[in-house]
């Protein structure tokens, strides 16, 4: 951890502790049994977290958070959510992690983050007329919406600045990604949280227990969605490996191209769905080489005109391979155009400028850069600086000028960060 990162973590933790100490004297007539029940529910919901292939996570903990705000108000809800996330037990890659083997700084930071975001959400709920423990559905829409947006925004801001310090990526890019990531999920879970609050207010603990089934079902639905998505991604990777088995010099090429392409796409603010499509397109961009003779692919010398013409067919072959797979239809155009040039002299259609999909323009830069910095049968790998020089020289002819500039800065910044880390 850098000194900046340590300082930031310490500030968030101190703010969380300060909020907790301040609120200890602000609460009267605590519903101890209700508090205990909701702490247990919070621990359970946070323990059932689902880690995605992108190392993000989904949980149904927001249901408990929202219900706690509507029932108990700001201080108690903040305590409940904070304790829930700090005492969770998470299974990942076959191992169990809890407060005893999580880094203490991470545990305290997560607890403080939720303490602040849930506490502020509860404050705005009450400030706009919401009364904890008394739900009148006719006049609480605005307080609930404000409560939700406050929780989302503060949580995203805290986590985004953390990721900015860790990765060097711009804060605003991280912030937008985090907002988009949770917005739909939170709004999908909000009705369940409201109904849980109504059940507790009217029927007590028995009413809340009735919602354990729907809560677990919501978690199961999330898990099924993630598993299905991972299965599709694994199928895509298997197709990519089939190409690399024919051409051993490209081993790992598609994965690296995907990393470069997504990094560039994030820096120009491409929407999350387009970045996901770009990632899959990068993995499959050379799938059409299955239809090219491996003697041509692995030829150590210069290709003949006829051999190069066969190589040039691989984008169209790739599109033919994937065109009938429903979840891959969106990436066909990206794959087809990833060898087009910005000046119109590329292939297979001779597109130019903005008629080339932006994803293809991004993929083209990432593909060329990784090819230049990798060993090939006919040449040695170039250095990073040499490869960046070729990208620079290709601005406006082979590559989109703006994208090339952003990519060059991205690689240089990453190189600088690695140098500092060493």
Name which of 193-197, 215-219, 284-288, 378-382 the model is least confident about: 215-219
Contacts of 340 (CB under 8 A, 6+ apart): 346, 347, 349, 350, 351, 352, 356, 360, 364
Specify the pLDDT at position 421: 38
Q: Which own/partner pairs from 385-391 qualify as long-range (CB within 8 Å, at least 24 positions apart)?
A: 388/412, 391/365
Residue 58: its H or E element: strand 57-58
Share of the chain above pLDDT 90, in %: 33
Q: Is the pLDDT of residue 400 over 80?
A: yes
Where do the structural domains in the chain lie, given as residue ranges?
Answer: 3-210, 233-421
Q: What distance in Å separates the CA atoms of residue 354 and residue 159, rounded to the nearest whole number?
A: 35
Q: What distance in Å separates the CA atoms of residue 274 and residue 266, rounded to the nearest whole number?
A: 10
Contacts of 129 (CB under 8 A, 6+ apart): 139, 140, 142, 143
- Report, as an integer, the average pLDDT of 231-251: 67
Specify the pLDDT at position 234: 72
Q: What distance in Å separates the CA atoms of residue 317 and residue 328, rounded to the nearest whole number?
A: 14
Average pLDDT of the residues of the chain: 83
Name which of 2-11, 65-74, 186-195, 411-420 the model is least confident about: 411-420
59 versus 317: which is more confidently predicted? 317
Q: Is the pLDDT of residue 165 over 60?
A: yes
Q: What distance in Å separates the CA atoms of residue 71 and residue 164, rounded to the nearest whole number?
A: 35
Contacts of 406 (CB under 8 A, 6+ apart): 264, 267, 268
- Report, as an integer, the average pLDDT of 167-191: 79
Name which of 22-26, 31-35, 102-106, 416-420 the model is least confident about: 416-420
Name which of 27-41, 141-155, 191-205, 221-235 the model is least confident about: 221-235
**Main-chain phi, psi angles of 168, to 5 degrees:** 85, -5
Pick from 42-46, 258-262, 283-287 the range whose average pLDDT is largest.
258-262
Q: What distance in Å separates the CA atoms of residue 111 and residue 87, rounded to the nearest whole number?
A: 9
Name which of 18-32, 47-61, 144-158, 255-269 the model is least confident about: 47-61
Contacts of 275 (CB under 8 A, 6+ apart): 262, 265, 266
127 versus 287: which is more confidently predicted? 127
Specify the pLDDT at position 417: 45
Specify the pLDDT at position 245: 67
Specify the pLDDT at position 248: 59
Q: Do domains 3-210 and 233-421 have the same CATH topology?
A: no
Is 1.10.10.10 the CATH number for 233-421?
no
Contacts of 422 (CB under 8 A, 6+ apart): none
158 versus 232: which is more confidently predicted? 158
Q: Is the pLDDT of residue 375 over 80?
A: no
Specify the pLDDT at position 367: 92
- Report, as an integer, the average pLDDT of 79-105: 81
- Report, as an integer, the average pLDDT of 56-61: 69
Specify the pLDDT at position 403: 94
pLDDT band at residue 240 under the 50/70/90 scheme = low
- Report, as an integer, the average pLDDT of 22-35: 83
Other Cβ atoms within 10 Å of 197 Cβ, number: 25
**Domain 3-210 is of which CATH architecture?**
Orthogonal Bundle (1.10)
Q: Is the pLDDT of residue 184 over 80?
A: no
**Helix, strand, coil percent content, the chain, rounded in steps of 5:** 70, 5, 25
């Amino acid at each position: 951890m850098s000194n900046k990162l340590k300082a930031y973590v310490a500030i968030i933790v101190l703010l969380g502790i300060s909020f907790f100490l301040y609120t200890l004297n602000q609460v009267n007539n605590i519903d101890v049994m209700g508090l205990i029940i909701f702490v247990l529910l919070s621990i359970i919901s946070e323990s059932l977290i689902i880690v995605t292939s992108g190392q993000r996570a989904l949980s149904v903990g927001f249901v408990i958070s929202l219900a706690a705000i509507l029932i108990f108000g700001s201080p108690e809800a903040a305590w409940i959510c904070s304790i829930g996330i700090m005492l969770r037990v998470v299974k990942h890659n076959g191992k169990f992690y809890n407060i005893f083997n999580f880094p203490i700084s991470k545990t305290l930071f997560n607890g403080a983050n939720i303490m602040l975001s849930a506490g502020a959400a509860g404050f705005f709920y009450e400030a706009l007329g919401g009364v904890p423990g008394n739900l009148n559905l006719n006049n609480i829409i605005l307080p609930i919406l404000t409560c939700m947006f406050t929780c989302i925004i503060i949580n995203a801001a805290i986590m985004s600045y953390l990721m900015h310090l860790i990765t060097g990526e711009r804060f605003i890019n991280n912030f937008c990604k985090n907002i988009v990531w949770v917005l739909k999920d939170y709004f999908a879970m909000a009705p369940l949280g409201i109904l849980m609050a109504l059940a507790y207010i009217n029927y007590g603990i028995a009413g809340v227990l009735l919602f354990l089934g729907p809560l677990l079902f919501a978690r199961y639905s999330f898990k099924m969605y993630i598993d299905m998505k991972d299965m599709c991604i694994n199928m895509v990777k298997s197709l990519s490996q089939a190409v690399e088995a024919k051409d051993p010099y490209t081993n790992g090429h598609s994965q690296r191209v995907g990393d470069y392409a997504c990094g560039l796409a994030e820096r120009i603010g491409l929407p999350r769905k387009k970045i996901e499509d770009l990632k899959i397109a990068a993995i499959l961009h050379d799938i059409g080489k299955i239809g090219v003779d491996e003697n041509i692919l692995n030829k150590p010398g210069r290709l003949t005109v006829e051999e190069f013409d066969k190589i040039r067919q691989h984008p169209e072959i790739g599109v033919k391979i994937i065109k009938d797979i429903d979840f891959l239809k969106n990436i066909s155009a990206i794959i087809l155009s990833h060898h087009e040039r910005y000046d119109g002299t590329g292939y297979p259609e001779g597109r130019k400028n903005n008629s080339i999909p932006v994803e293809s323009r991004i993929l083209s830069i990432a593909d060329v850069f990784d090819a230049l910095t990798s060993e090939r049968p006919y040449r040695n790998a170039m250095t990073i600086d040499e490869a960046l020089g070729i990208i620079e020289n290709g601005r406006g002819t082979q590559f989109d000028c703006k994208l090339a500039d952003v990519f060059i800065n991205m690689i240089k910044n990453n190189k600088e960060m690695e140098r500092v880390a060493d």
